[in-house]
Copies of this chain bind each other. A is one copy, B any other.
Amino acid sequence: VLDKVNLAEVLAGMSDHWMPRVVAAYNDDTVQVLKVKGEFVWHKHDGTDDLFIVLRGSICVQLRDGDVAVGPGELFVVPRGTEHCVRAEEEAEVLVIERLGDTGAEADARVLEAEAELRWSR
């Protein structure tokens, strides 16, 4: 029988910020959880939407057009090709679904590093 994943339990064992842990595969995409605090880097994914569900705390998804505040139990999808930068004043916990390997050329080293990390932990 296949395994379920308790998201809070996985997150309880994590401490670093911006270091996603892959918890499941869904079709060609990865389901990740991560703790965030502070600000990531502006980037976009040309080949995949980026789905966020906030599990604890709140995040601000900065878009070039404005900010979207996403709180616990809220879902937000960044469409492919849309530049975004996540910021969190206080630590927050987030579930993210995205297709790996579709990060746009504008991504800087930090995004690519996080992606490499994901491939490892897969």
Chain A contact residues: over half helix, strand or loop, or mixed?
strand
A37 at interface, CB cutoff 8 A: no
Complex interface: chain B residues within 8 A of A24 (CB): 51, 75, 77
Contact across chains for A4 and B49 when beta carbons are under 8 A apart: no
Q: How many copies does the complex hold?
A: 2
A56 to chain B, nearest CB (A): 10
Please judge, given known A-B contacts A1-B66, A4-B70, A70-B4, whether A27 and B99 are in contact too, CB under 8 Å.
Answer: yes
* Smallest CB gap from A67: residue in B: B1
Taking beta carbons and an 8 Å cutoff, which residues of A are in contact with B? 1-8, 23-27, 29, 31, 48-49, 51, 53, 55, 63, 65-71, 73-80, 95, 97, 99
Q: Return 22 A-B CB contacts under 8 Å, by A number.
A: A1-B68, A3-B68, A4-B68, A4-B69, A4-B70, A4-B74, A4-B75, A4-B76, A5-B75, A6-B71, A7-B73, A7-B75, A8-B73, A23-B75, A26-B51, A26-B77, A27-B48, A27-B80, A31-B51, A31-B77, A55-B73, A75-B95
